[in-house]
Amino acid sequence: MTREADPIDSTTDLQRLYRNRFSDLERRRKDEIWHVLCTYFFQRYVKPSDTVLDIASGMGEFSRHIAAARIYAVDINPDAGKFLPVGAKFSLTPAHRLDFLSENSIDVAFTSNFLEHLPTKAAVDAVLKEVQRVLRPRGLFVALQPNIRYAYKEYWDFYDHHTPLSHLSCAEAFELSGLQVVELIDRFLPFSTKSALPTHPILVRGYLACRFAWRFFGKQFLIIGQK
pLDDT tens, residue order, the chain (227 aa)? 333 344 444 554 555 555 555 556 666 788 999 999 999 999 999 999 999 999 999 999 999 999 999 999 999 999 999 999 999 999 999 999 999 999 999 999 999 999 999 999 999 999 999 999 999 999 999 999 999 999 998 888 888 889 999 999 999 999 999 999 999 999 999 976 555 555 788 899 999 999 999 999 999 999 999 99
Is residue 195 within 8 Å of residue 29, measured between CB atoms?
no
Q: Domain locations in the chain?
A: 25-226
**Is this structure's pTM higher than 0.85?**
yes
Question: What pLDDT is attached to residue 158?
Answer: 80
Q: At what angle do helices 121-134 and 167-176 cross, to 10 degrees?
A: 50
Question: What pLDDT is attached to residue 206?
Answer: 94
Return d(Cα 55, Cα 96) in angstroms, integer: 10
Cα–Cα–Cα angle for 194, 112, 5, rounded to 5 degrees: 105
Identify any residues that bridge with 142 across adjacent strands, giving them in sequence order.
Answer: 110, 224
Return d(Cα 205, Cα 107) in angstroms, integer: 26
Return d(Cα 12, Cα 80) in angstroms, integer: 16
E strand or H helix at 109: strand 106-112
Question: What pLDDT is attached to residue 21?
Answer: 55
Return d(Cα 136, Cα 141) in angstroms, integer: 11
Burial profile 91-122: b = 16 or more Cβ within 10 angstroms, e = fewer: beebbbbbeebeeebbbbbbbbbbbbbbeeee
Closest among 73, 78, 134 to 105, alpha carbons compared:
134
Architecture in CATH of 25-226:
3-Layer(aba) Sandwich (3.40)
Question: What pLDDT is attached to residue 16?
Answer: 53
Is residue 154 within 8 Å of residue 116, measured between CB atoms?
no
Closest among 119, 101, 120 to 109, alpha carbons compared:
101
Is residue 109 within 8 Å of residue 141, measured between CB atoms?
yes
Q: Long-range contacts of range 42-47, CB-CB < 8 Å, 24 or more positions apart? A: 42/66, 42/110, 42/142, 43/67, 45/108, 45/140, 45/142, 45/224, 46/107, 46/108, 47/107
Is residue 92 within 8 Å of residue 81, measured between CB atoms?
yes
Question: What pLDDT is attached to residue 14?
Answer: 53
